[in-house]
Structure 1
């Protein structure tokens, strides 16, 4: 009886060994099958193009930054650019337009590095004033501090303007709570870099209809982030509703629109 029990145990052990061996064989076969499959094809040409485009863009941003530093007498380090802040090429675009046009009154929505660049440009022109509205109290205060550090308080000011619900052109929208007494009677240049896209689907649309009656006959409107579909749609609506403006798309890192008011059409 005891021998039969021992034999039975041996048989069980043999079966377990067989099962173990079979499992090993299956595992090896699966590995071989995977190894036999052709590797994923990597398009090195496409990767090279992406890297090349990134290098070109970085070089372009560096060129713009050098141009800005060569033109302006910057007395204190500028805040970091790119990402949420404006890119150097957009800053150079602002600088170029201000130096050429010599505007008396500029209104800006969304303060930051652009406020400083604009302040320096106006200081270089020895005329003009920037009024910048910012919905974010924290960042607005940082810009105010930077204006003091750069000695630009005479040429630029930042006004806190929380986002609120408004009705513009028979549409509900969210826009800055602007103190009307702080808005110049005549605006030569309007810079639109806010509010953030998350605020509303067409967050920056109200800028033009809100201030249309205060824009000078030869005013220009500059909007950042033109590469985004929302901003493209906003520009399309502006041109449809205000045909006296002509639009130019500028190939910056984030894309930019410049709308110029044509005096003949406006008259």
Structure 2
């Protein structure tokens, strides 16, 4: 899921979904002039230049009118100079009026787009809560769009898990989905979920909630800080998974949930790409993969790379708010 204030995926339960939003924004220099949403003090030099340019063009047109008057035989040109001045002023006024109207339309259009997106997420969360009602009564679910998964994506994940009945689940990034999948396994009566998380504090919080719900028998949350990973000559920031935890998975993983790690602005390739190459040997013959944020460009590129470099997988896109891609073996 994307943070409301930056381009990074965010998995926080709270409504303030990215505590580092300000630092994220500071990574990017602000140009002199971007558009109607740029602060006025940054836009003034460009606006002044545009206005002066239009005024000069209008003044030139007025001077042309004077020249035409002289050519037509007008000897008294005193009345033509005010015409040139009026043309310059009118040109500048028309330019500023056009710019103001354009800015107003752009601002209102952006506001409408933002409100529409928030409404879509709210509706998705409400829809998901209704469908997940049997699993949500004891979970301290986030409200106001702070899901790791949007409500409709979470409902899809639970539906597919109940239908496919995975025995071993590996999750990249813990959160609400961990608690929901833990309850699915509890309902099915068997199975285990191993969730790797690079945020140690967040992982501990998830563990406390797992214990609160009595899911320790089914859920294990493992600390896996990010470290350098080399694949195909490319460097990635990916989970440093303890060898013992990786060996314990064997080849029995029936479901791989890809919802982490976050995408760094410095990375040219999808940050989550190592998931399948690194864990392919752990997947069972009936395994399926749940890719969140599948509408995002990096995730679309990642899935294309997977299917091209690791043949034998087919994809199915589901139109949730952030998009989900379900991958199954052919």
1-structure distance, mates of 2:243, 2:179:
23
Q: Which runs of 5+ in 1 are unaligned?
A: 1-25, 263-267
Instruction: Compute the displacement of 1:258 (Å).
Output: 1.0
Residues 43, 167 of structure 1: alpha-carbon distance in 2 compared, 3 angstrom cutoff: closer
How far off is 1:125 after superposition? 1.2
Question: Which residue is 2:297 aligned to?
Answer: 229
Secondary structure of the corresponding residue to residue 197 of structure 1: coil
Match of 1:131 among 194, 197, 200: 194
Are the aligned partners of 1:248 and 1:257 in contact in 2 as well (CA < 8 Å)?
A: yes
Q: What is the match of residue 185 of structure 2? A: 122
Work out whether 1:107 is the aligned partner of 2:170.
yes
Residue 187 of structure 1, CA deviation = 0.4
> Residue 248 of structure 1 is aligned with which of 299, 310, 316?
316
Cα deviation per residue 1:135-155 (whole Å; 9 max; x = unaligned)?
A: 111111111111112221111
- Rg bigger for which structure? 1
Say whether the 8 Å CA contact 1:164–1:175 is kept in structure 2: yes
Query: In structure 2, what is the equivalent of residue 40 of structure 1?
Result: 101
Structure 1 distance, partners of 2:111, 2:229, is: 48
Structure 1 CA distance for aligned equivalents of residues 155 and 135 of structure 2: 11
Pairs within 5 Å for 1:50-61: 50=113, 54-61=118-125
Conserved 8 A contact 1:81-1:87: no
Pick the structure with more strand per residue: 1
Cα separation, 2, equivalents of 1:117 and 1:238: 27
What are the equivalent positions in structure 2 for 1:1-267 lying under 5 Å apart? 34=93, 37=97, 40=101, 42=105, 50=113, 54-69=118-133, 71-72=134-135, 74-80=137-143, 82-83=145-146, 85-183=148-246, 184-185=249-250, 186-198=252-264, 200=267, 201-262=269-330
Moved more, 152-161 or 196-205: 196-205
Deviation by residue 1:72-110 (Cα, 9 ceiling, x = unmatched): 263242245735722111211110111001100000011
What is the DSSP-based 3-state SS (H/G/I as helix, E as strand, rest coil) of the residue aligned with 1:159? strand
Q: Specify every segment of 5 or more residues in structure 2 that has no aligned partner in the other structure, as ranges.
A: 1-84
Root mean square deviation of aligned Cα: 2.9
TM-score between the two structures when normalised by the length of structure 2 = 0.63
Deviation at 1:207, TM superposition (A): 0.3
| Partner SS for 2:326 | strand
Cα distance in structure 2, aligned partners of 1:52 and 1:225: 18
Deviates more, 1:37-46 or 1:224-233: 37-46
Stretch of structure 1 that moved more, 95-104 or 36-45 = 36-45
Greater mean deviation of Cα atoms: 211-220 or 50-59:
50-59
2:129 touches 2:136 (CA, 8 Å); kept in 1? no
Q: Which residue in the other structure is 1:7 paired with?
A: none
Indicate how the Cα distance of structure 1 residues 138 and 45 shifts in structure 2: closer, same or farther if over 3 A, else same.
closer
Per-residue deviation at 1:248? 1.1
1:76 touches 1:149 (CA, 8 Å); kept in 2?
no
Query: Which residue does 1:11 correspond to in 2?
Result: none
Distance change in 2, residues 1:81/1:191 (3 Å): farther
In structure 2, the CA distance between the partners of 1:170 and 1:76, relative to structure 1 (3 Å rule), is same
SS in structure 2 at match of 1:158: strand
